């Protein structure tokens, strides 16, 4: 297994604070860190000095999580094995190696943090169905399946994206999207104004990609702790979020011409009208 995390340059301390502990728990074949916002030689010198020699460091200046993900997904094709991507401000639980052995037959599965599960499980349960339970180290954990595409009429008016991967503190990929799909999604993403791309969650991007490879539901359970970094200022302006999604959906319509992407575009056209004041 390859264990991966990704983070902007200003959060590189999270590699030592959290990720190296995840490496100890999961014992991967290789640990890889992707660092965004790296554009100067001095930054590369700093990374070489401060990051552990036990991890492979890859860097770029993608400037948002979604372009970083697309670069990572392309790279994963060259790795030739299972890939587990952990958010940089998460610590996985000791149960995750056993959970992985139970769920590795799925093309993709994800993990929710215990804090979100206690705080607001309905946020994920509204689009999930319970599929069973996992017996892990003497404890029972619920197993759910999250619907990545919300085709209901209510989905046009509810909060949240039409496409969404579900919980995403950990994403395990056993099946990768074809490069042609990544190329088209990247062109759609790059059609979004560069200042707006950060308003599109990577859960949405991954939901779109899962849908395109034919995955309707993604299994998930609870097995991490989210130690939120606290560096973001708060909720984004709804109009800017709607504009970013509208532009992304418009790009997807141009690239794929599928009716579900027209529906995605309609949702955020309505949202822009609703929030223009």
pLDDT given for residue 35 in this prediction = 98
Q: For the segment 102-143, what is each residue's pLDDT rounded down to a tens digit?
A: 999 999 999 999 999 999 999 899 999 999 999 998 889 999
pLDDT at 237 over 90: no
Rounded to whole angstroms, the Cα distance separating 132 from 124 reads: 16
Region 58-63 average pLDDT:
97
| Residue 174 and residue 108 in contact, taking contact as beta carbons nearer than 8 Å | yes
pLDDT given for residue 158 in this prediction = 74
| Residue 242 and residue 272 in contact, taking contact as beta carbons nearer than 8 Å | yes
Q: Which pair of tokens denotes residue 129?
A: 């169905």
Rounded to whole angstroms, the Cα distance separating 70 from 179 reads: 10
pLDDT given for residue 233 in this prediction = 63
Between the ranges 76-85, 224-233, 235-244, where is the mean pLDDT highest? 76-85
pLDDT at 268 over 70: yes
Rounded to whole angstroms, the Cα distance separating 62 from 70 reads: 10
Name the residue with higher pLDDT: 181 or 229: 181
Region 73-97 average pLDDT:
96
- Cα Rg for the chain, rounded, in angstroms? 18
Q: Do you know the residue count of the chain?
A: 277
* Average pLDDT taken over every residue of the chain: 94
Region 188-215 average pLDDT:
97
The β-bridge relationship of strands 83-86 and 170-173 is antiparallel
Between the ranges 49-58, 85-94, 156-165, where is the mean pLDDT highest? 85-94
pLDDT at 146 over 90: yes
pLDDT at 234 over 70: no
pLDDT at 96 over 80: yes
Q: Which residue has the tokens 């490496």?
A: 23
pLDDT given for residue 52 in this prediction = 83
pTM for this model (two decimals): 0.95
pLDDT given for residue 263 in this prediction = 95
Q: Which segments of 104-237 does DSSP mark as H helices, in order? A: 114-119, 122-125, 179-190, 202-212
Q: For the segment 211-230, what is each residue's pLDDT rounded down to a tens digit?
A: 999 999 999 999 999 998 76
Rounded to whole angstroms, the Cα distance separating 206 from 212 reads: 10
pLDDT given for residue 277 in this prediction = 65
Closest by CA position to 208, among listed 255, 156, 172, 242: 255
| Residue 25 and residue 92 in contact, taking contact as beta carbons nearer than 8 Å | yes
């Amino acid at each position: 297994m390859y264990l991966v995390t990704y983070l902007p340059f200003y959060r590189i301390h999270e590699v030592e604070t959290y990720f190296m502990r995840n490496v100890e728990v999961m014992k991967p074949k290789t640990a890889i860190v992707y660092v965004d916002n790296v554009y100067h030689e001095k930054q590369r010198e700093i990374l070489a000095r401060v990051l552990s020699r036990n991890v492979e460091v890859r860097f770029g200046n993608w400037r948002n999580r979604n372009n970083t993900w697309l670069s990572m997904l392309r790279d994963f094709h060259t790795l030739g094995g299972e890939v587990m991507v952990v958010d940089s401000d998460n610590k996985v639980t000791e149960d995750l190696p056993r959970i992985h052995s139970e769920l590795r037959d799925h093309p993709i599965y994800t993990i929710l943090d215990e804090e979100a599960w206690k705080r607001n499980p309905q946020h994920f349960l509204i689009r999930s169905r319970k599929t069973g339970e996992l017996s892990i180290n003497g404890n029972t954990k619920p197993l759910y399946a999250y619907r990545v595409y919300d085709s209901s009429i209510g989905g046009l008016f509810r909060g949240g994206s039409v496409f969404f991967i579900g919980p995403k503190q950990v994403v395990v990929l056993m099946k990768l999207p074809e490069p042609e799909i990544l190329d088209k999604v990247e062109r759609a993403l790059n059609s979004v104004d560069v200042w707006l791309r950060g308003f599109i969650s990577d859960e949405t991007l991954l939901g779109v990609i899962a849908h395109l490879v034919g995955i309707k539901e993604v299994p998930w359970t609870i097995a991490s702790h989210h130690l939120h970094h606290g560096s973001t200022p708060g909720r984004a302006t709804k109009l800017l979020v709607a504009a970013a999604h509208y532009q992304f959906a418009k790009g997807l319509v141009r690239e794929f011409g599928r009716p579900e992407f027209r529906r995605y575009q309609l949702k955020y056209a309505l949202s822009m009208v609703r929030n223009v004041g």
